Chain A
């Protein structure tokens, strides 16, 4: 959980303690879910968190099972079941958004090391199979029948300078975000690089519509949340 520890160093000890006792894994999962939903590109897979949540779900499933078999109060059993269902929904929804993104940008993800490293082991397997299948499909159904210069699944033709047939996420999408602390000196990667005068600050708990590209590092370090 690199993002959490990095965040912890910044805030005071008291804040840390508060956050620790008030933040459950479900809260963290909800945050990861919202970020993943709002971000245009795929984010780092929260493997530790997901493992913990999975463990808790399994434990709770056993508890519910046990409570049913000893015939304890049906009301409390149904409440445990509801809690379980809510957590399951979050987990499923989180995993599904990631799969949607993978399906959309699979070629791009597979050839970009940085994105590839963000996937879980299962997601990597899935991406590999997906890209292989789609490539084979494109080749056998269309590309092999085209003239020689147009047979690449990545490029329109041999004269293309870049892989112009590979869908990429648009990082200049505008997203809505909120910071927990006062942040200053955010470099807005807006327009040309040489214009360094545009520094931006963010007040805590105020919503900003901003270009995803500019705040990408802050989302990755967990300093700001998307919503």
Chain B
């Protein structure tokens, strides 16, 4: 029973999340000619100048750094789309489903490495920050509604980074509820001998939220 919860172990670092996001596929427009690449993670190319092709983000960034391509920003990363999303996020307590799981990491990587390829970069960036803030505020207010009758929490459309931020809190809170709720752990000095029936009787009735 000496085991401790290992939250440090299960948490993904920001770098690891970025690593995962780097496998997302993006469109690039190469400006060089290169044979197809047969990589462990898949086959990509051939690369022909001005012909759009799909590659993972890390490959796109590597080429972009050497000035060998331009990256086509994903469709959701335009001022129009993001304005819509921001509006939707503000109007409803639900999380919008129009953003990819790794939207924070993808947009950050693109801003760091391919800023010139993003039209209205400044606007896009501030829209994404606003969306992040609104979404995170919603997550926080959602968490306030937590109570001891919760045995599982269902979250729609939460992004990877948001998950990572709330994970330690939700995990520990649920665990605490679970612990205090389970009558199994509360010793009853009078009825130690027939503990089982009593446990069944006092079973916590918990419902799934939302």
Contacts and interface: CB of A to CB of B under 8 A. Distances in A.
Interface of A: 24-27, 30, 34, 37-40, 53, 56-57, 60, 73, 75-76, 78-80, 82-84, 86-87, 89, 97, 100-101, 104-105, 164-170, 172-176, 188, 190-192, 194-195, 198, 200, 206-211, 227
Contact of B154 (A25, A84, A104, A206): A206
A66 to B, nearest CB: 13
Given A174-B171, A192-B203, 17 more contacts: A30-B20, A37-B12, A56-B40, A76-B34, A79-B39, A80-B37, A82-B58, A83-B59, A86-B19, A173-B6, A173-B171, A188-B152, A191-B182, A192-B200, A206-B154, A206-B155, A207-B158
A40 B178 CA distance: 16
Contacts of A176: 163, 167, 171
B123 interface: no
B152 A210 contact: yes
B19 A84 contact: no
Contact of B178 (A39, A79, A87, A172): A172
Contacts of A79: 37, 39, 59, 62-63
Given A75-B66, A209-B171, A173 B9 contact: no
B2 A24 contact: no
B94 interface: no
Of B20, B63, B178, chain A has the most CB atoms within 10 Å of the CB of B178
**Which 5 pairs show the lowest CB-CB distances between chains A and B?**
A83-B39, A209-B153, A210-B152, A174-B174, A174-B171
Interface residues of B, number: 54
Judged by DSSP, the binding face of B is mixed
Interface string B1-18: 111111001101000000
A37 B9 contact: yes
B41 A83 contact: yes
B84 to A, nearest CB: 22
Contacts of A168: 1-3
B145 interface: no
Nearest to B1: A164
Contact of A207 (B1, B155, B175): B155
